[in-house]
């Protein structure tokens, strides 16, 4: 009786299939990684990278503030119990430290108590006539949810402080990083020294760079 012939191909078949599956998985993983590198957005490190809209809906690049000014960014509203006190305080800071080294940047929002029902252009007109506001008032935005304004979302993510009401404030240095944040009820006296210190640092740096 002749011995049974040995067929290497039959014995190695399952191993080959396992190897092919593993190889396919490795290639798919590598392709997904490369696609992520190509399409994944780089981490934004500066508030001044963003573009927003002014009260008339025109695009405004925040790049113009980079390296030149300290900014205090606030979500504002016209029909809130905190409106009078906060708008007057913001204008006082803007007048005291501006216009060359500091600016308040106001973003109307209607998500807190529906306290900003006006269209953006009416908001700008209202605060000018009632509070003498001279700082920029931008287009009305959303702060919460999937439609949140990316520029304001950057402030929230950087500070880990999400607004719970109108007139939260974020202090941003000339490089575009968030330095401090304040709740709406905190007094102007708590904010003023921080602004003055950042402006002093900015002026010293500019002199050293000359």
80 among known catalytic residues: yes
Residues 171, 195 contacting (CB under 8 angstroms): yes
Return the closest-CA partner of residue 99 out of 136, 46, 48, 52: 136
Q: Return the number of other C-beta atoms located less than 10 Å from residue 62's C-beta.
A: 20
In this structure, are strands 102-108 and 70-76 parallel, antiparallel, or unpaired?
A: parallel
Q: Which candidate in 11, 28, 80, 109 is catalytic?
A: 80
Provide the token pair at 190.
Answer: 């708590």
Tell me, what DSSP letter sits at residue 171? E
CB 137 within 8 A of CB 124: yes
In three-state secondary structure terms, 47 is helix
Contact 141, 108 (CB under 8 A): yes
Token couple for 201: 């640092």
Provide the annotated active-site residues: 80
């Amino acid at each position: 009786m002749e011995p049974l012939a040995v067929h290497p191909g039959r014995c190695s078949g399952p191993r080959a299939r396992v190897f092919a599956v593993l190889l396919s998985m490795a290639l798919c993983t590598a392709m997904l990684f490369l696609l992520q590198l190509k399409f994944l957005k780089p981490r934004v490190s500066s508030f001044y990278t963003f573009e927003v809209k002014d009260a008339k809906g025109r695009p405004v690049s925040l790049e113009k503030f980079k390296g030149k000014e300290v900014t205090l960014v606030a979500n504002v509203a016209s029909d809130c119990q905190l409106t009078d006190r906060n708008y007057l305080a913001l204008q006082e800071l803007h007048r005291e430290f501006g216009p060359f080294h500091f600016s308040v940047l106001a973003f109307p929002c209607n998500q807190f108590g529906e306290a900003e029902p006006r269209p953006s252009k009416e908001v700008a007109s209202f605060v000018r006539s009632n509070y003498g506001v001279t700082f920029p008032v931008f287009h009305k935005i959303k702060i919460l949810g999937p439609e949140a304004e990316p520029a304001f979302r950057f402030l929230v993510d950087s500070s880990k402080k999400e607004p719970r009401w109108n007139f939260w404030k974020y202090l941003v240095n000339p490089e575009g990083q968030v330095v401090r944040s304040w709740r709406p009820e905190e007094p102007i006296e708590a904010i003023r020294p921080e602004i003055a210190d950042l402006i002093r640092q900015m002026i010293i740096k500019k002199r050293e760079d000359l």
